[in-house]
Chain A
Amino acid sequence: MLEEKARIIRKHIIKMIYTAGSGHPGGSLSATDILTALYFNVMRHDPKNPKWEDRDRFILSKGHAAPALYSALATSGYFPVEELLTLRKLGSRLQGHPDMRKLPGVEASTGSEGQGLSIGIGMALHAKLNRKLYRVYVMIGDGENDCGQIWEAAMSGAHFKTDNLTVILDRNGLQLDGPTRQIMDIEPLVSKWKSFGWKVIEINGHSFREILNAFNRAKSVKGKPTIIITHTIKGKGVSFMEGAVSFHGKSPNKEEYEQAMKELG
């Protein structure tokens, strides 16, 4: 069931980006399984009531993966699936990067990397102050992990004991210019986050069993926030996009599009 949802979401992503003529397929596809698990299993939310006060919040800090977020939202019922094809068009609610004032279900305006984790901490603090039980989920990229603000936020998340906050680090090993190992090596990642006071869980980000299990474990952690490092494949699901730096931020051409849609079934 989750596998099937993820397949549909991947097809939407490819079609949207192809129709728009631009966008970021790689990081959208690596994040798809996690977003599917969040929107169709983990999070308490109501697509018919996007402003419900007690909803869990998801922030896509790596805002360039907007197609994955939009597809998950549309498939959940926040807005019509047909609207997905307006991505990046003049007048569309589906901006190139998420705009919380335009599209229902978008919790934060992002696109400049490095800020979503701090925003998530703000939301988690608001919940604590107002005795709200909602949880906050933030997805960051492994390239985004270079940003200084991420580490400012890492420190303050632990300091303020935001155990209602779960971060997903999409460890697809690639950033814009190449492999993270070459551009800016972020290892040893687990011990870094541990030493910043976080509970760290490491999983395969394409195994629903591991994903659901990790989110469950994160819920029971008290007194500190949790980060789930999800090992993923950039471009997952489309053979020629998998592990390809070139598909970080470009649309497939006609042949590639047809090939991709065929592979996704």
Chain B
Amino acid sequence: MWNKKTQRDAFAEALVEIGSRRKDVVVLTADLSSSVKTNRFAEKFPEHHFNVGISEQNMMSIAAGLAASGSRVFASTFAVFGTSRVYDQIRQSIAWPKLNVNIVATHAGITVGGDGASHQMLEDVALMCSLPNMTVIVPCDALETKKAVKFVVDYNGPTYIRLGRSDVPTITQENALFSIGKAMVMKDGKDITLIGTGTMVSRCLLAAEKLEKDNIDATVINMSTIKPVDEKMIIKYAKETGAVVTAEEHNIIGGLGSMVSTVLSENVPVPMKRIGIPDVFGESGKSDELMEKYGLTPENIAEAAHEVMKRRGKQK
């Protein structure tokens, strides 16, 4: 029912569009240009693309030097190499001096599949959210990816954009606006709030369809910025529905679920449940098999919705 496209392709398209209208953009990668798709930008603007080989630490600090001089920088590699391997370089060279470096990390999450635990980055959002000055964006589809990439080029300060490897259903509209810190209501309902991020937003929509069969009218929110999180939206819908489920393709610790539960407990302590990877490393398998094994399916979300609604009881 939905069209599918990879976020990486959208990233590549956005970069080429940006490159054709401005000359201050520089793109860096570390021997992964064909995987993260910066190669398309490189074909068109070879002078503005630097492949540093397998030296991610070097790449992050070079990005800082370029940005400190006035370039607008995109540094792209796999999420695992673009965060944990270079946390100190991001912290010291980029985040502390608040430089305009956009880290676009692909192949995040368990849906990476066959490559297994070494490549399934499930802690990146936690790492990046813990850095002062850092903005953390997890787009839900290709369309939103393209808008986010085009948005951050003029944003003042570092950003982390988290993308997946596989095709994802396009669930947002062409005319929907993207803005940092603004969540998007995908479906408005009164009984329960499902907040998803990245690849889990479409699964929240599927869960909402299932709930409808049980006469449950769910709200679905696309939380595409994890930091700064859209507190107003969380509070508003928590008040209206009195029950919340979060869903993310990330460790259950330190990601969307943690962020939302903090906002809830400090403002509207309603029953909630987090769907995510249960604090374990991944393993090889097909994407769908893995999502099932680790409890990240629409069925899991729907079950969680029933559970929190039961805890909430009749009154809201």
- The answer to whether A99 and B47 touch (CB under 8 A), given A120-B65, A155-B55, is no
Chain B contacts with A in 247-282, Cβ cutoff 8 A: none
Check if B92 sits within 8 Å of A123, measured CB to CB: no
Flag if B98 contacts A122 (CB, 8 Å). Answer: no
Q: Which of B58, B68, B98 contacts A153 (CB 8 A)?
A: B58
Give the chain B neighbours of A155 by CB distance below 8 A. Answer: 53, 55
Name the residue of chain B whose CB is nearest to the CB of A127. Answer: B69
Q: How many A-B residue pairs have CB under 8 A?
A: 108
Q: Once the chains bind, are A149 and B92 in contact (CB under 8 Å)?
A: no
In the bound complex, do residue A149 and residue B93 qualify as a contact, i.e. CB atoms below 8 Å apart? no
Task: Spot the interface stretch: A21-29, A100-108, A174-182.
Answer: A100-108
Q: How far is the CB of B43 from chain A (nearest CB, A)?
A: 18
A101 to B64, CA, bound (A): 13
- A-side binding surface: helix, strand, loop or mixed? helix
Interface residues in B204-254 (C-beta closer than 8 Å to A): none
> How many Å from the CB of B161 to the closest CB on chain A?
20
Cross-chain contact A109 with B92 (CB below 8 angstroms): yes
Tell me the bound Cα distance from A147 to B50 in angstroms: 22
Interface residues of B in 37-91 (CB under 8 A from A): 47-48, 50, 52-53, 55, 57-71, 88-89, 91
- Contact between A129 and B89, CB atoms less than 8 A apart: no
When distances are taken between beta carbons in the complex, the residues of chain A under 8 Å from B155 are none
Task: Answer yes or no: A121 CB below 8 A from chain B CBs.
Answer: yes
Contact A156 B62 (CB under 8 A): yes
Say yes or no: is B96 at the interface (Cβ < 8 Å to chain A). Answer: yes
Contact between chains at A122 and B89 (CB < 8 Å): no
Given A112-B88, A126-B71: A149 and B63 within 8 A (CB)? Answer: no
| Known interface pairs A110-B92, A115-B89; A149-B58 also in contact (CB < 8 Å) | yes
Query: With contacts A127-B69, A152-B55 known, is A119 near B96, CB below 8 A?
Result: no
Residues of chain B with a CB closer than 8 A to A125's CB: 26, 50, 62, 65-66
CB interface residues, A 144-158, toward B, < 8 Å? 148-149, 152-153, 155-156
Known: A118-B62, A153-B58. A126 touches B53 (CB 8 A): no
What's the Cα separation between A112 and B92 when bound, in Å? 7
Q: Would A109 and B97 be within 8 Å (CB), given that A123-B66, A152-B57 are in contact?
A: yes
Partner of A156, one of B26, B48, B53, B96: B53
Decide if the interface of chain B is mainly helix, strand, loop or mixed. helix
A240 close to B (CB within 8 Å) = no
Question: Chain A interface residue count: which class?
Answer: 20 to 34
List of A residues within 8 angstroms of B91 by Cβ: 112
Q: Give chain B residues whose Cβ lies under 8 Å from the Cβ of A120.
A: 65
B93: chain A residues within 8 A (beta carbon): 108-109, 115, 118-119
B68 near A129 with CB under 8 A, answer no
Cβ of B53: which chain A residues have Cβ within 8 Å of it? 152, 155-156, 159
Given A101-B97, A101-B98, A109-B96, A122–B66 Cβ distance below 8 Å? yes
Known A99-B97, A152-B55; judge A115-B61 contact (CB<8 A). Answer: yes
Q: Which residues of B contact A112 (CB under 8 A)?
A: 88, 91-92
Chain B residues whose C-beta falls within 8 Å of the C-beta of A249 in the assembled complex: none
B59 to chain A, nearest CB (A): 8
Closest Cβ of chain A to B218, distance in Å, is 45
Q: Which residues of B contact A119 (CB under 8 A)?
A: 61-62, 64-65, 68, 93
Expressed in whole angstroms, the Cα–Cα distance for A160 and B66 within the complex equals: 14
Given contacts A101-B97, A109-B96, A149-B55, 12 further A-B contacts (CB under 8 A): A99-B97, A107-B68, A118-B57, A118-B61, A119-B68, A121-B62, A121-B65, A122-B64, A122-B67, A149-B57, A152-B55, A156-B52
A-B interface, 3 closest residue pairs, ranked by CB to CB distance from nearest: A122-B65, A118-B61, A152-B55
